[in-house]
Amino acid sequence: MMSLVFLMAVVMAVTLAAVIAIVVSRRGLPRVNRLHPQQIAAAGPQSFDAQFWRPGTRAVQAGFGRLTVVGDLLTFRPDDAGGAPFTVHASEVHARPLEGGAGGALWLWTPETGDLHGVLSYDYIDRLGRATGADPRERLATAEFLEVVRALGGRI
């Protein structure tokens, strides 16, 4: 009788752990359909509102600006006076969701910039910091940007 109770407790614990794992895994970036370079070319230039900073700090490396994908080139044009612009081929980029994609933040490495953390949005990033990084439009923009980089030969 005691071993049956113990076995049921183990089964319940494993089931609960599996449910928790599924819920936590779905909190990351949304799933995006796989793209092909031809689809990206047909869509024309893609543009994201962006902010980049150095890992470990909120020290701005490139600041706020526009990240544009044209062909296989990624170009960042900062709005801020002290921001650092960059242009790189997508095939030279390494990128991934930051901390499992929570909040839509991403890690980006290029030969020109080294390590950067960033947030992307299609329309607007709250510059006053009142909105959280978990905004759905930022998570979707980051997921779609990562898929574009993957399709153009970047490492994800």
One pLDDT digit (tens) per residue for the chain, 156 residues: 668 777 787 778 778 766 565 544 445 666 777 777 777 777 778 899 998 888 876 655 567 899 999 888 999 998 877 778 899 999 999 999 887 555 678 899 998 889 988 888 887 776 665 555 457 778 888 888 998 899 889 898
- What is the Cβ-side half-sphere exposure of residue 90, based on CA atoms within 13 angstroms? 21
Residues with Cβ < 8 Å from 22, sequence gap 6 or more? none
Task: Using alpha carbons, list the distances in angstroms from residue 17 to 7, 8, 10.
Answer: 15, 14, 11
3-state secondary structure of 69: strand
Cβ 155 vs Cβ 94: under 8 Å: yes
Query: What top-level class would CATH report for the domain 34-152?
Result: mainly beta
